[in-house]
Structure 1
Amino acid sequence: MNDLARNRAAIILAAGKGTRMKSDLPKVMHKVAGRPMVDWSIDLARRVGCSRIVVIAHPSQHILIEHVTAILGADCIAYQDPPMGTGHAVRCAEEALEGFEGDLVVLYGDSPLVPAEAIEDLFDSLKGGAAIGVLGFEAEEPGLYGRLITSGSGDLEAIVEAREANPEQLAVRLCNSGVMAGGAKTMFRLLQNVTNENAKGEYYLTDLVALARGEKLTCKAVRCDEEDLIGCDSKADLAEAEAIFQARCRKTMMAEGVTLIAPDTVWFSHDTVLEADVIVEPNVVFGPGVHVHSGAVIRAFSHLEGAKVGPGSSVGPYARLRPGADLSKDVFIGNFVEVKNTHLGEGAKASHLSYLGDGQIGAHVNIGAGTIFCNYDGFLKYQTKIGDGAFIGSNSSLVAPVEIGDGAIVGSGSVVTKDVSSDALAVGRSRQTEYQNWAAKFRERKAAEKASKKKG
């Protein structure tokens, strides 16, 4: 439970160029589980009750700036130009946080898996009397990570960079994640004394620990799992973070009553909701914004995004539900059916090879194989409406805007351009014409032509 008596703020460092991504897209805009990494950090800050959030960006990161502005507003962005280290980046937020009194946490826009519980523990260390709290992890291979040197009482004595550590310090496996918290006034005051007298000529946030200890202030190291603190500097790191998220999500889904027949072949987004007793067959992808209700079956090789699947419904195999697909109870969507921005009423069926876009389909409607909602004229989209109990014959094209009444039947192969009354039969195809013996004469003529070419 948050301590509401003390305000909280977050600074999210996101100005890094991310050259190892080999991409024109700002590093923190790359996605993990269908969500830009910076959004993970913004959501984390919100979940731990931060009333003020400032994202540090570089003025050249136009895509990031527009994205964050749409979420938080322009006054929640501070600029670092040129980048001069993490300490400098935090100082760039000081003006945006003018007048703020409370606790401040520094997060990273390229660390998508940090749990809220870890940040709560960090804030708890401040409640316990620490001036500065640092999030650390026990590394399997500490390598070049900075080491968190603690005392026998558990206080954080120093952060030592690997290149400057002695053998005894290098043996320490508790490593610095970079995530730090403290009272806002204390942190900004200490930052005024940070210098750039180092090999890189940068201002380091980690220097705050030494400065705080120099004033006899208490610092604490808070432990977290190494996987939780993965930072994504490259496409390989992105893939690793994605794998961690997916493995955790699969376990959570199954623990909550979802059946995954081949768990490693099912891919989730950050906001996927599957209720208990949903069955998911192999090789299914859930894009953002999917909610599947209890008793539904998602069959193999289906792709869902921005879709709702009602209880008892069946989707696939090889089906695609695009944003706005809304299936009521006991709807059947079969193989190679695509649904976009269309509501299907209870018991409606589209079993094969159809495109249903921008429509309203009533209860217990049957959509025949090869049916197409012709919803776009090259400029605008239009609605197709089908009443309860209607039957749409195979290979029909419904040219929107058009409305099919309750109980109406559309004959197979029809092109429907006008509204159809309830309980009427609509047939919109040319009259069949038959020419006797034409096919036999055609084959005879063509066979002769082929034979003559072979002789030549």
Structure 2
Amino acid sequence: MTDFAAIILAAGKGTRMKSDLHKVLHPIAGKPMLMHLLDSFAGLSPQRTVVVVGDRREQIDAALEGRGITTAMQDPQLGTAHAALQAKDALSGFSGNILICFGDCPMVEAETVRKLTAALDGGAKVAVLGFRPEDPLAYGRIIAQGDGTVVKMVEFKDASETERAVNLCNSGLIVAHSDDMWPLLDAVDNNNAQGEYYLPDVATNAIARGDKVVVVETGADEVAGINSRSELAGAEQRWQAARREQAMADGATLKAPDTVFFSHDTQLGRDVTVEPHVVFGPGVKVANGVHIKAYTHLEGADLATGVQVGPFARLRPGAVLEENSFVGNFVEMKKATLGKGAKASHLSYIGDATVGANANIGAGTITCNYDGYFKYHTTIGERAFIGSNSALVAPVTIGADAIVAAGSTVSRDVGAGELRMVRAEQLVKQGWADRFHDTMKKKKAAAKKDGPSKDP
């Protein structure tokens, strides 16, 4: 493949999003749409990538820090062709194919770009990406011959009735070799109603000078632009639907697929069962044979083979469940490891902790890991038994085979094999309850006899 560079246009204000966050940084499946595009292009090994910025440049610069990607400023904003020209200095000395695309079209795939660049090998000077939406609306039209040679590109407002009847639309993506791209961009003028320099005129001018321009087609979803919260939700919906199908194709069972939500980096093994209303946040790895029950939320968690989780469980970043361990309903884990075969069946918080193999965490157990200033660690040994409603005040270690009696507050280490019982002595007052009930019954009867209170 010829050397490749990408120019991503992201200088627009994104006013329809009505957000303080730059439009291209709004996430799909937990990843900013710009990063979806960049990660896709990474498979093409671009020599250079330039993101053209404008409004809220600092946000994009911060998001791109450390990625080796250049930004170029467009100010003032005079149209898409003008925006692309702002990358010229950053691509000085580069010789190869240049793709120009939009940061708010995040689902463009590397294979589609390969097809675009390959189209230049047949003698074309410019390749454009077209699509056929269900409703062409006011998209610009591509008038092409049967072999894909473009005869004309026309904006909807300038199209004739015959041209508007064509459903091949312009996505805006365009590829040309640098030797052709820069002269064609320089030749674009602003002789139009808006007084702007439009990117499609690169192809129009190429046709006018006798160059061959070809169109490559793709699906409408791949090039759908995102300009509003509604369109963002639509893109999320399409991404999730595709990811669910992929999960099932890879051997996972989704009981109610439409209610399961994945992150961009969710990893699922084979024979995983996911019940309804499960949400995967970023950083979740699930091994083979795991069962995730309904209404469970996972983020930054690592689940080994044979693990069961939920229902109504929450696994936060740093949660590690080793083979055949079990977390039940209303259990929350954070930065904690549950050893092989260990169980926390219900109503517990396990934070900043290591739980040994085959240990049992009783209902209502809490690792008290925070003193308002610092976090502390709790270590629970193998086969230890923590009774219900226990509070383990970190830092504390519970030894192997130790038992913590129900209702205990443990603030000192418990040795291996010990029983630790921390309870106040029970006080018994014979007959007290009977006398109390008699007294209160008499008061209530007297109140009824005297009638309603006359207090103001």
TM above 0.5, yes or no, is yes
Q: What is the rounded CA distance, in whole Å, between the counterparts of 1:369 and 1:123 in structure 2?
A: 61
Letter in 2 for 1:8: F
Aligned pairs (5 A) from 1:97-136: 97-136=91-130
Q: What is the rounded CA distance, in whole Å, between the counterparts of 2:364 and 2:46 in structure 1?
A: 52
Aligned pairs (5 A) from 1:139-288: 139-288=133-282
Contact 1:113-1:229 within 8 A present in 2 as well? yes
Q: Deviations over 1:90-137 (max 9, x none)?
A: 111112222222211122221222222211111211233322111110
Aligned pairs (5 A) from 1:330-341: 330-341=324-335
Query: Which residue of the other structure, out of 18, 22, 26, is the alignment partner of 2:18?
Result: 22
Q: What is the rounded CA distance, in whole Å, between the counterparts of 2:208 and 2:331 in structure 1?
A: 68
Q: 1:449, CA displacement in angstroms?
A: 4.2
Query: Which residue of the other structure, out of 46, 56, 59, is the alignment partner of 1:60?
Result: 56
Q: Deviations over 1:370-422 (max 9, x none)?
A: 11111111122221111111111111111112121222111111111122211
Deviates more, 1:442-451 or 1:270-279: 442-451
Q: Indicate yes or no: 2:88 matched with 1:89.
A: no
Question: Helix, strand or coil: the match of 1:364?
Answer: coil
Q: What is the rounded CA distance, in whole Å, between the counterparts of 1:82 and 1:399 in structure 2?
A: 60
Aligned pairs (5 A) from 1:12-51: 12-51=8-47
Q: What is the rounded CA distance, in whole Å, between the counterparts of 2:50 and 2:337 in structure 1?
A: 40
Go from structure 1 to structure 2 and tell me whether the alpha carbon gap of 1:445 and 1:13 turns closer, same or farther (over 3 Å shift): farther
Q: What is the rounded CA distance, in whole Å, between the counterparts of 1:14 and 1:204 in structure 2?
A: 15
Contact 1:41-1:107 within 8 A present in 2 as well? no
Deviates more, 1:415-424 or 1:163-172: 415-424
Q: Indicate yes or no: 2:436 matched with 1:442.
A: yes
Contact 2:347-2:363 within 8 A present in 1 as well? yes
Question: Helix, strand or coil: the match of 1:336?
Answer: strand
Q: What is the rounded CA distance, in whole Å, between the counterparts of 1:87 and 1:222 in structure 2?
A: 20
Aligned pairs (5 A) from 1:357-376: 357-376=351-370
Go from structure 1 to structure 2 and tell me whether the alpha carbon gap of 1:216 and 1:425 turns closer, same or farther (over 3 Å shift): same
Question: Helix, strand or coil: the match of 1:41?
Answer: helix
Deviates more, 1:263-272 or 1:328-337: 263-272
Q: What is the rounded CA distance, in whole Å, between the counterparts of 1:453 and 1:188 in structure 2?
A: 96
Q: 1:363, CA displacement in angstroms?
A: 0.8
Letter in 2 for 1:390: A
Q: 1:451, CA displacement in angstroms?
A: 4.4
Q: Deviations over 1:263-305 (max 9, x none)?
A: 1111111111111100011111111111111111000111111
Contact 2:399-2:416 within 8 A present in 1 as well? yes
Q: What is the rounded CA distance, in whole Å, between the counterparts of 2:302 and 2:411 in structure 1?
A: 29
Q: What is the rounded CA distance, in whole Å, between the counterparts of 1:379 and 1:78 in structure 2?
A: 43
Corresponding residue for 2:67?
72
TM-score when scaled to structure 2? 0.95
Q: What is the rounded CA distance, in whole Å, between the counterparts of 1:22 and 1:452 in structure 2?
A: 66
Corresponding residue for 1:326?
320
Go from structure 1 to structure 2 and tell me whether the alpha carbon gap of 1:453 and 1:112 turns closer, same or farther (over 3 Å shift): farther
Contact 2:123-2:212 within 8 A present in 1 as well? yes
Q: What is the rounded CA distance, in whole Å, between the counterparts of 2:127 and 2:204 in structure 1?
A: 12
Letter in 2 for 1:409: I
Contact 2:119-2:127 within 8 A present in 1 as well? yes
Deviates more, 1:232-241 or 1:88-97: 88-97
Letter in 2 for 1:240: G
Query: Which residue of the other structure, out of 382, 388, 393, is the alignment partner of 2:387?
Result: 393
Letter in 1 for 2:37: S
Q: 1:59, CA displacement in angstroms?
A: 4.9
Q: 1:30, CA displacement in angstroms?
A: 1.2
Q: What is the rounded CA distance, in whole Å, between the counterparts of 2:428 and 2:178 in structure 1?
A: 87
Q: Indicate yes or no: 2:4 matched with 1:8.
A: yes
Q: What is the rounded CA distance, in whole Å, between the counterparts of 1:450 and 1:119 in structure 2?
A: 84
Go from structure 1 to structure 2 and tell me whether the alpha carbon gap of 1:36 and 1:453 turns closer, same or farther (over 3 Å shift): farther
Q: What is the rounded CA distance, in whole Å, between the counterparts of 1:36 and 1:436 in structure 2?
A: 68
Question: Helix, strand or coil: the match of 2:75?
Answer: coil
Q: 1:178, CA displacement in angstroms?
A: 1.0
TM-score when scaled to structure 1? 0.95
Deviates more, 1:428-437 or 1:80-89: 428-437
Go from structure 1 to structure 2 and tell me whether the alpha carbon gap of 1:168 and 1:330 turns closer, same or farther (over 3 Å shift): same
Deviates more, 1:215-224 or 1:170-179: 215-224
Contact 2:13-2:55 within 8 A present in 1 as well? no
Letter in 1 for 2:51: V
Q: What is the rounded CA distance, in whole Å, between the counterparts of 2:308 and 2:134 in structure 1?
A: 45
Name structure 1 gaps, 5 residues minimum.
none
Letter in 1 for 2:210: K
How many residue pairs are counted as aligned between the two chains?
450
Go from structure 1 to structure 2 and tell me whether the alpha carbon gap of 1:375 and 1:167 turns closer, same or farther (over 3 Å shift): same
Contact 2:72-2:90 within 8 A present in 1 as well? yes
Go from structure 1 to structure 2 and tell me whether the alpha carbon gap of 1:140 and 1:400 turns closer, same or farther (over 3 Å shift): same
Question: Helix, strand or coil: the match of 2:187?
Answer: coil
Letter in 2 for 1:144: A
Question: Helix, strand or coil: the match of 1:40?
Answer: helix
Question: Helix, strand or coil: the match of 2:39?
Answer: helix
Q: 1:65, CA displacement in angstroms?
A: 2.5
Q: 1:152, CA displacement in angstroms?
A: 4.1
Question: Helix, strand or coil: the match of 1:72?
Answer: coil
Go from structure 1 to structure 2 and tell me whether the alpha carbon gap of 1:407 and 1:143 turns closer, same or farther (over 3 Å shift): same
Sequence identity (%): 49
